[in-house]
Amino acid sequence: MQVPVGSSRVLDNGDWRMWPAGMIGPDDRMRFARYARFLEFANGQQWTERARRGEQRLVFNYARSLVRKTASYVFPEPVTFNVPAQSEDADDQAAARAAERWLNGFSASGGLARFDLSLATEIAILGDGINKITWDPEKGQPRVVAVDPATVSIAHAPDNPRRLTRVTQVYGVYEHDVPVLFPHVPADGVLTGRDQMIPVAETWTSAEWEVVISGQAATRVANPYGWIPYVFAVNNARPHDFWGCSDLVDLEEVCREINRRLTIVSRVLELSGAPIAVLENVDGSEGINVGPGAKWELPEGARAYLLDLLQGGGTQLHIQYIELLFRVLHDLSETPRTAFGDAGRDLSGAALEVEIQPLVQKVGRQRRMWDAFFAQRNAMLLDLMERFGGADFRNHRRTTTIWPPVLPSDRETAVQNTVALVESGIQSRYSAISALGEADPEAELARILQDREAMTTADQQDAVSTKEQER
């Protein structure tokens, strides 16, 4: 069975005008426009009105800083995965451990930790994130790529928005790449010979894979995977809707107001550094030179003075308003100032945890989304490796995510608590090693047993030697 390999190299930025006619509707166009708007905002385009000539505008990109900070708390360290055995059978447990070792090894060698951290930032900005999982026959392993949500349209069951029935992805490729990406597609009627960028539309259902190149049907074959090879991470989605919501929705106005107010304060300070000279009862300013050491001769009754913009405490009102805006910003983003390492006062450990609790709750909500995302992605990876890679995992597909602590923890206390759970029979040694962050608990447990056997053998040899010396 031929496995599609050309569907993962996305060369276009998802411009909806690349879509063939009839493939997307008004809702998709609105979603694409929303993605573009939030992406521009996160990249610093945060002023709505046009600048006047010579006007200087400041942009303090707290929006991007906050989403990156949240992503760093969601993934403070790489996650690992546990594959629970389905029975007490020794072969079944060995297969589960083999699947777990391969999954964690693939995640580490493929750089998925860094990949997922970047994806978390994009999901917070756009509201949606997509991975495509396909088989790479050249490397003999699965391939995981990020897909721009603005290149994807979906259809779902009418009674269940979470059950996908069709996924269509459209992207642009240059003509010289078509034979490389789609070697089984005949070039007749598809390529023009001008090496221009042409749209490619892939449509996946659980039964079929169809490719349309430049508006012409190129191939339509049975889906070799048996499932749609896309995994969706949806941020704060409504229960009756499929697509998510950006974290920047609530931050746009306050970020724009911070930029405006800080720009005003900057102008006031700039003018105060080069104060304005005010002349009263003077008909004209001819012959009056402005500069260091300049002397003016003013007519009788005239008066000259410098305009002090800082007089009367007006600037302090701006600063107080800006401080209020920052408080609103931290409240709306659920990211207290403490998350940036500045509590402003000495706090005990318990008080510090209470102050940062809003961020902990936000991270908990996002991790629940990631749990579902990882479970689906890992199931696809294990299925591909067993189906095309020759691995024998005995159909193990269920995984659980082992998350690092959100806040810095006391390692010694964590170890003591884990030891107490093991000694009381509440937790196994294998689970304890996993909970403490070991990527390969089985190998670590084997090393521990080897050390114990070696120490037991050494103690026995010492005892025998001591007895012989006593004789």
What average pLDDT does this structure show over 112-137?
Answer: 96
Q: Please determine, for residue 15, whether its predicted confidence score (pLDDT) is greater than 60.
A: no
d(CA 397, CA 380): 8
In a domain, 132, yes or no: yes
In a domain, 125, yes or no: yes
Q: Which of 430, 436, 431, 429 is nearest to 414 (CA)?
A: 436
Query: Which amino acid appears at position 393 of this protein?
Result: F
Judgement on whether residues 78 and 170 belong to the same structural domain of the protein: yes
DSSP classification of residue 110: T
Q: What's the domain count of the chain?
A: 3
Q: Using pLDDT thresholds of 50, 70 and 90, give the confidence band for residue 311.
A: low
Judgement on whether residues 26 and 114 belong to the same structural domain of the protein: yes
Q: What is the pLDDT of residues 134-185, one digit of tens each?
A: 999 999 999 999 999 999 999 999 889 889 999 999 988 888 888 777 777 6
d(CA 320, CA 261): 11
In a domain, 29, yes or no: yes
d(CA 33, CA 30): 5
Judgement on whether residues 33 and 85 belong to the same structural domain of the protein: yes
| H or E stretch covering 278 | strand 276-280
Higher pLDDT, 209 or 352: 209
In a domain, 191, yes or no: yes
In a domain, 438, yes or no: yes
d(CA 431, CA 83): 11
Range of the domain at 437: 409-471
In a domain, 245, yes or no: no
- The structure's pTM equals 0.79
- Confidence at residue 328, expressed as pLDDT on a 0 to 100 scale: 95
Percent of the chain at pLDDT exceeding 90:
48
In a domain, 425, yes or no: yes
Contacts of 233 by beta carbon, 8 Å cutoff, 6+ apart: 119, 123, 128, 129, 130, 131, 244, 369, 370, 373
Q: Please determine, for residue 420, whether its predicted confidence score (pLDDT) is greater than 90.
A: no
Of 9-23, 187-201, 440-454, the least confident: 9-23
Helices (DSSP H) in 163-227: which residue ranges? 178-181
Judgement on whether residues 160 and 124 belong to the same structural domain of the protein: yes
- Confidence at residue 175, expressed as pLDDT on a 0 to 100 scale: 81
What average pLDDT does this structure show over 423-439?
Answer: 76
Of 91-95, 232-236, 426-430, the least confident: 426-430
Judgement on whether residues 63 and 190 belong to the same structural domain of the protein: yes
Of 61-65, 84-88, 308-312, 395-399, the least confident: 308-312
- Confidence at residue 187, expressed as pLDDT on a 0 to 100 scale: 60
- Confidence at residue 13, expressed as pLDDT on a 0 to 100 scale: 44
Judgement on whether residues 303 and 261 belong to the same structural domain of the protein: yes
d(CA 180, CA 129): 27
Q: Using pLDDT thresholds of 50, 70 and 90, give the confidence band for residue 408.
A: low
In a domain, 421, yes or no: yes
Q: Please determine, for residue 206, whether its predicted confidence score (pLDDT) is greater than 50.
A: yes
Cβ atoms within 10 A of the Cβ of 469, count?
7
Judgement on whether residues 68 and 214 belong to the same structural domain of the protein: yes
- Confidence at residue 273, expressed as pLDDT on a 0 to 100 scale: 58
- Confidence at residue 301, expressed as pLDDT on a 0 to 100 scale: 66
What average pLDDT does this structure show over 71-100?
Answer: 92
Judgement on whether residues 22 and 157 belong to the same structural domain of the protein: yes
Contacts of 208 by beta carbon, 8 Å cutoff, 6+ apart: 220, 221, 222, 223
Of 200-214, 361-375, 401-415, the least confident: 401-415
Contact 105, 221 (CB under 8 A): no
Judgement on whether residues 224 and 95 belong to the same structural domain of the protein: yes
SS3 label, residue 325: helix
Higher pLDDT, 1 or 212: 212
d(CA 46, CA 39): 10
Judgement on whether residues 422 and 467 belong to the same structural domain of the protein: yes
Q: Please determine, for residue 393, whether its predicted confidence score (pLDDT) is greater than 60.
A: yes
Q: Which of 68, 7, 9, 113 is nearest to 374 (CA)?
A: 113
Judgement on whether residues 322 and 272 belong to the same structural domain of the protein: yes
Residue 73's φ and ψ, nearest 5 degrees, are -75, -30
Judgement on whether residues 153 and 114 belong to the same structural domain of the protein: yes
- Confidence at residue 2, expressed as pLDDT on a 0 to 100 scale: 46
Percent of the chain at pLDDT exceeding 70:
80
Backbone conformation region of residue 195, classed left if phi is above 0, alpha if psi is from -120 to 50, else beta:
left
